[in-house]
Amino acid sequence: MPPKNNSRGRQSGGRSRNQFGPRKPTPVDDEDKAVEVEGEISSVLAGTMFRVRLASGHEVLAHISGKMRKRFIRLVVGDRVKMEMSPYDLTKARIVFRLG
């Protein structure tokens, strides 16, 4: 009699499909990518929100990205920052880097 297989439907020697490992890249169109812009913080608002003035003179509402929050990066009025903006709503942005 052959030995009983106790694998319960799993592939032998490998991981389950739903666990760990690199994610497959999702196709991203050029129009869905974030627009990167630079600006200067003009005012600090409550809840880690900021008003940022762009070089063109427009002001946008921006919040800090999660990695900047995690590393306790402090931002004050006058700091130059790099931001990502969605092409669908150009009035809001995410601050991703402090330039100085």
pLDDT mean values, one per 10 residues, the chain (100 residues): 64 61 69 86 94 95 94 94 93 93
What per-residue confidence (pLDDT) applies to 25? 74
What residues have CB less than 8 Å from 84, skipping those under 6 apart? 34, 35, 36, 93, 94, 96
What per-residue confidence (pLDDT) applies to 24? 75
Q: Residue 82: beta bridge partners?
A: 38, 97
What per-residue confidence (pLDDT) applies to 39? 96
The reply to whether the predicted model has a pTM over 0.95 is no
Q: Which two tokens stand for residue 20?
A: 């760990």
What per-residue confidence (pLDDT) applies to 12? 55
Please say whether the beta carbons of 41 and 79 come within 8 A: yes
What per-residue confidence (pLDDT) applies to 20? 73
Q: Residue 68: phi, psi to the nearest 5?
A: -70, -35
* DSSP conformational letter for 42: E
Give the right CATH number for 34-98 from 3.50.50.60, 2.40.50.140, 3.30.70.20, 3.10.129.10. Answer: 2.40.50.140
What per-residue confidence (pLDDT) applies to 60? 96
